[in-house]
Structure 1
């Protein structure tokens, strides 16, 4: 009995670890914005992850080559929305907004997923999803407007927040496409193939814009991005889903805005203001309502890359 209880508590620690890794990555993204271009860190990140996985994945990928060839377009779309566009826009947003705002906006993924599900899956949301979505969107507007709705007219002052909202919107497409296609292949092979496509998407931008060199000011951030949020966190998250179930695991995603804000407060000295508190609480309440008894929530193992 004690052994089972101990095991359960250990399992509940898994999604917390994953959320902390992703939250720290948002802060790292903001921190490194002053030291490396968005295209450079994005390319280096996926290149490092690709190189680490290659020795372990070449044989499994070769065995599944027929399936991969048949579904290459789906893998390409998943990579474009979930890796290239989502993370690329997030790296760009980091130049214009705070890590705290990025964490709060990132929590909006489940609500955006409901909207995208309506467009692609033709799923009609129930009243909880509608009420929760409206409430969360109101909180998001409040945060972006820094507590003053009139300031939203100054779009230039919110460019980073707009980019982050767009990034989250693309990630919602990623989740819905995963649900729509449900590719019958191991998650690790799927991850590896998507990373390969992400590298291909970067090549034209690398040729045109070039790459910033890796140096002492950015090497740690590049290494962290390529290893922890790209490889370790997804594995830990999937293990949590196996141990405690998808529904209970997904609840821990709501900790991300709080964890991001705390890390940013101590590391980047970002201020946590009253509009962050009010807007963040409204967003989280809306998300909780939107996920109640709805079949259109994001897949519970869905995670930000």
Structure 2
């Protein structure tokens, strides 16, 4: 359910490009999430206020990366590329996270992880250039694809830091603080930047992104991890580009082409290879 809701969130991002600005949809998305979470977070915050105080700077950083920058850049990208491309580029997130873990925290990067990364990158390149490498050489990369790549780096860093800064505080506290961080960070943009009046069609999109994409999906995901473990859960995350592509084809009428299928499968195979190699390396280190 979490993966289906996140796939729907990419479709919402594409639909929102025509009716609301990226800053507006990101701001109101997290405002809705913060308001929904407030009743559930108030009590735990009061009970755990002593433990929360030293962790606030970390939660604020996570909120800026995962709740403000990542969705904002994704909504900008949605105005210049397809929902399917957004979903496939997101497959690089686990690979980028593995690389960032090695650079920032000295985690060993195995040969299998490198090979998987290269295969995934090839798959993404095939998708981006529509199977024509001449097109890649003769034309600059699509602006939306580049923006989505930057967004994916932000989310990969968010994921690495989230795992590194693992907290025993209730999840409702972390989600609420991160949501509030995004609202505060985007408020100056909303107040100072000129923007058109919100179209009525934007309201259900904001409601979906705020209630389902920002609250329900993370809670379902964390609940799933608690029941089946992160290793099995990662298999479901790898289905995100396939779910996104299916929803984009059914709901947006995006075309299903051979380069898209082949490139998407290569990206998925590369991610699975890299993740398995990383887990094997971690298991060997733990046994020493």
Give TM-score scaled by structure 2 length.
0.92
Q: Say which of 31, 34, 43 aligns to 2:18.
A: 34
Residues of 2 paired with 1:145 and 1:182: CA distance? 38
Question: Which residue is equivalent to 1:183?
Answer: 167
Please state how far the C-alpha of 1:276 moved relative to its aligned partner: 0.6
* Conserved? CA contact 2:128–2:141, under 8 Å: no
Which of 172, 189, 203 lines up with 1:219 in the alignment? 203
Contact kept in structure 2, 1:123 and 1:296, CA below 8 Å: no
What residue number does 1:194 align with? 178
Structure 1 residue 260, shift from structure 2 partner: 1.0
Output the CA distance in 2 between the equivalents of 1:236 and 1:139. 29
SS at match of 1:292: helix
Farther-moved stretch of structure 1 (39-48 vs 103-112)? 103-112
What is the aligned partner in structure 2 of residue 302 from structure 1? none
Which residue, 116, 135, 158 being the options, matches 1:174? 158
Q: 1:237 aligns with which of 221, 224, 230?
A: 221
RMSD: 1.7
Structure 2 residues not aligned, in runs of 5+ = 282-288
Q: Deviations over 1:249-290 (max 9, x none)?
A: 210112111111111112111111111111101101101100
> For 2:14 and 2:259, how far apart are their aligned partners in 1?
20
Describe the SS at the equivalent of 2:131: coil
TM-score normalised by structure 1 residue count: 0.87
TM-aligned CA deviation for residue 128 of structure 1 = 1.3
Q: Does 1:72 align with 2:63?
A: no
CA drift of 1:229 comes to: 1.0
The answer as to whether partners of 2:44 and 2:170 remain within 8 angstroms in 1 is: no
Q: CA deviation at 1:164?
A: 0.3
CA pair 46-80 structure 1, distance change in 2 beyond 3 A: same
Tell me the secondary structure at the aligned position of residue 276 of structure 2: coil
Q: Establish whether residue 54 from structure 1 lines up as the match of residue 38 from structure 2.
A: yes
Which residues in structure 2 correspond to 1:97-176 (within 5 Å)?
97-153=81-137, 158-176=142-160
Measured in 1, the distance between the counterparts of 2:23 and 2:100 equals 27
Q: Structure 1: state its 5+ residue gaps.
A: 1-16, 298-305
| Equivalent of 1:43 in 27, 47, 70 | 27
1:287 maps to 2:287: no
Match of 2:284 in 1: none
Q: Could you report, residue by residue, the CA deviation over 1:106-144 in whole angstroms, capped at 9, with x for unpaired residues? A: 121111111111111111111211110111111112211
Determine if the alignment matches structure 1 residue 277 to structure 2 residue 261.
yes
C-alpha change, 1:182 and 1:243, in structure 2 (3 Å) is: closer
2:71 is aligned with 1:87: yes
Superposed displacement of residue 65, structure 1: 2.2
- The separation in 1 between residues aligned to 2:254 and 2:147, in whole angstroms, is 20
Q: Shift of residue 67 of structure 1?
A: 2.5
1:246 alignment partner in structure 2: 230
